[in-house]
């Protein structure tokens, strides 16, 4: 229910920004723009939410991100057998640079980002659980393809480095209930490929 309400609220914000952006025909050369985008695999595979919203000035974009989802598989999250994991939140701060000479938010771009994350991990057998916190910095490269007015699809490939690991400074296995939780993907580096659907206003 909370996820549905967040999606509804996000759509309302997008609708408001779209209405505000209708003055583009009057000011076609304005340098400032707003944008909003959703990560498709996370939304479809998990029923969760992963979105970024922010502003663009010429070749630069600055955005804030939010994610909340249940890990759908071991391959996706690295969660060991006997445990289930949920991402309670990821708050992200992103800075993008577009290499296009037209000063538009399309084509090849690079992104630098900071994440703070909270994960809920539960031992399936005993139902014991822990909340694990982490902080990450990383870089991403992607390509934005605009296909209808402000609508676009962006493919992205990135890597994140753990400043603070969920399993602590030594990355040691954590005892949760009667078993040790040890996730190899959430220790030093985490890599990903994904794609988003978004709109530039």
Name the class of domain 2-22+32-200: mainly beta
What global pTM score does this model have? 0.82
Give burial (CB, 10 Å; 0-12/13-18/19+) of 134.
buried
Using alpha carbons, select from 96, 14, 7, 94 the residue that is nearest to residue 50: 7
Phi/psi region, residue 40 (left: phi>0; alpha: psi -120 to 50; beta: rest), is alpha
**Residues 126-168: pLDDT tens digits?**
999 999 999 999 999 999 999 888 899 999 999 999 999 999 9
What are the sequence ranges of the domains in the chain? 2-22+32-200
**Residues 6-63: pLDDT tens digits?**
554 454 444 444 444 444 444 455 689 999 999 998 888 888 999 999 999 989 999 9
């Amino acid at each position: 229910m909370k996820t549905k309400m967040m999606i509804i609220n996000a759509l309302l914000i997008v609708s408001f920004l779209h209405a505000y952006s209708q003055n583009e025909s009057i000011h076609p050369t304005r340098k400032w723009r707003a944008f909003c985008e959703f990560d498709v695999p996370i939304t479809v595979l998990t029923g969760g939410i992963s979105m970024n919203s922010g502003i663009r000035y010429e070749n630069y974009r600055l955005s804030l991100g939010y994610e909340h989802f249940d890990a759908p598989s071991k391959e996706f999250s690295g969660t060991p057998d006997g445990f289930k994991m949920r991402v309670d939140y990821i708050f992200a701060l992103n800075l993008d640079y577009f290499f296009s000479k037209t000063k538009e938010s399309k084509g090849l771009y690079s992104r630098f980002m900071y994440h703070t994350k909270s994960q809920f991990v539960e031992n399936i057998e005993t139902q014991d659980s822990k909340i694990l916190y982490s902080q990450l910095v990383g870089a991403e490269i992607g390509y934005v393809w605009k296909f209808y007015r402000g609508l676009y699809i962006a493919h992205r490939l990135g890597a994140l480095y753990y400043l603070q690991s969920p399993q602590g400074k030594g990355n040691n296995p954590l005892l949760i209930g009667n078993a040790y939780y040890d996730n190899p993907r959430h220790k030093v580096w985490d890599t990903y490929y994904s794609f988003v659907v978004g709109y530039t206003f």
